Amino acid sequence: MKTKRQALGRGLDAILQSPDADLRSKEIAQNYVVGAIANINIDDIEANPFQPRNSFENDDLEELASSIRGQGIVQPITVRKIGFNKFQLISGERRLRASRMAGLKEIPSYIRVANDEQMLEMALIENIHRKDLNPIEIAASYQRLVEECTLTHETLSDRVGKKRATITNYLRLLKLPAEIQIAIRDERISMGHARALINIIDIDAQLRLLRRTIQRGLSVRQVESMAKNIKQPSAARAPSVSMMQTAYLPKQDLLARKLNADISFKINNKGKGNIVIPFGSTKELDQLIDKLNK
């Protein structure tokens, strides 16, 4: 229980081990020994108002409760004292909930002092290191640390023990349309798929490729390839769209629906040009050829 997790950097671990926190805890913990673990009545602990998670899987809690009944609490929770025999949870809500389900009356706890900003930071950092979070939950936690705890990306990198580029990639997910974020949250697409979709500027094109990815079960490599072939809007290219090409947009859309593919016509004002039909694999190419031959 005394082993430090290096991944926490100077975040949660540093705050918990702070000499100042121990000294201040001594002033308010009264009968509790600083540096030791106190067994606190579960009914005397109130929820953390800064808890970033708003849902917990009941099956997971039942599994943890069963483990607690057999082996007890392996890792103490962390609380702060807010009054006479009154404590507020800082981190460890799953353990606290599961302990209640297991019928425990007391729970081993670290008692620390933390202001509201420290509580939020500690709760978010602890939450980020949970293995069951989806990428959107992690991204939202990073965003709250940046905005509400005024952390730079570099400082946040040190706090959570992640590369700055990794944090940036997570934060970019929050710029995606809600439909794509929900697909990530519900595990219908992976973060790899999402990173490919991010590179598409046009939202409609993003959503079309998202739906095709889900419908066809496309791999990340396939989505990356198709995303690269999607024409990106550009101010420099906009004037070059010919009147002829504009006139053929309805027929382009009709053919795209018929083949269920992202098709684009490239036509100059003399009527010359080409049809672009991107595909993600030879199997998909064969399917397109079959449809064209019908």
- The torsion angles phi and psi of 287, rounded to 5 degrees, stand at -65, -40
pLDDT at 13 over 80: no
Q: Which of 63, 93, 121, 154 is catalytic?
A: 93
* pTM of the model as a whole: 0.47
Does residue 116 have a pLDDT over 80?
Answer: no
Query: In the chain, what is the greatest distance between 2 CA atoms, to the nearest angstrom?
Result: 90
Side-chain-side CA neighbours of 135 within 13 Å: the count stands at 25
Name the DSSP letter for residue 102: T
Q: Counting Cβ atoms within 10 Å, is residue 33 exposed (0-12), middle (13-18) or buried (19+)?
A: exposed
Closest CA to 65 of 13, 40, 101: 101
Token pair, residue 124, equals 């978010």
pLDDT score, position 71: 80
Q: Which residue has the higher pLDDT, 24 or 157?
A: 157
CATH topology for 6-114?
Answer: 3.90.1530
Name the region of 44 (left: φ>0; alpha: ψ -120 to 50; beta: rest): alpha
Q: For 104, which DSSP code? A: -
Out of 68-72, 82-86, 98-102, 153-157, which region has the weakest mean confidence (pLDDT)? 82-86
Q: In this structure, how many other beta carbons lie within 10 angstroms of the beta carbon of residue 168?
A: 13
Cα 173 from Cα 161, distance rounded (Å): 20
Query: Minimal CA–CA distance to 144: which of 162, 128, 130?
Result: 128
> Is the pLDDT confidence value at 14 over 50?
no
CB 265 within 8 A of CB 252: yes
Residue whose structure tokens are 């929770």:
77
pLDDT at residue number 260: 74
Residue 12 is predicted with a pLDDT of 43
Q: What confidence tens digit (pLDDT) does each residue in 39-80 have?
A: 999 999 988 776 656 556 777 788 888 888 888 887 788 888
Identify whether 62 is a catalytic site residue: no
Distance CA(264)–CA(249), nearest Å, equals 9
Q: Which of 137-146, 208-217, 232-241 has the lowest mean pLDDT?
A: 232-241
**215-234 confidence digits (pLDDT tens):** 999 999 999 999 988 866 55
Is residue 91 helix, strand or coil? strand
Answer with the residue of higher pLDDT: 140 or 130.
140
| Res. 188: pLDDT tops 90 | yes
Instruction: Report pLDDT for 240.
Output: 46
Which pLDDT value is given to residue 158?
Answer: 83
158 versus 12: the higher-pLDDT residue is 158
Q: Are 81 and 111 in contact (CB under 8 A)?
A: yes
What values do phi and psi take at 37, rounded to 5?
A: -105, 125
| Across 176-185, 189-198, 245-254, 258-267, least confident range | 245-254
Q: In the chain, which segments carry CATH 3.90.1530.30?
A: 6-114
CA torsion sign, 68 to 72 to 74 to 77? positive
- Amino acid in the structure at residue 174: L
Tokens 């590179």 found at: 199
According to CATH, where is 1.10.10.2830 located in the chain? 126-228
Q: What CATH number was assigned to the domain covering residues 126-228?
A: 1.10.10.2830
How far apart are the C-alpha atoms of 215 and 203, rounded to whole Å?
18
Q: What is the pLDDT of residues 236-250, one digit of tens each?
A: 443 444 555 666 666
Please indicate whether residue 33 or residue 82 has the higher confidence score (pLDDT).
82
pLDDT score, position 236: 40
Q: How far is 245 from 266, CA to CA, in rounded Å?
A: 6
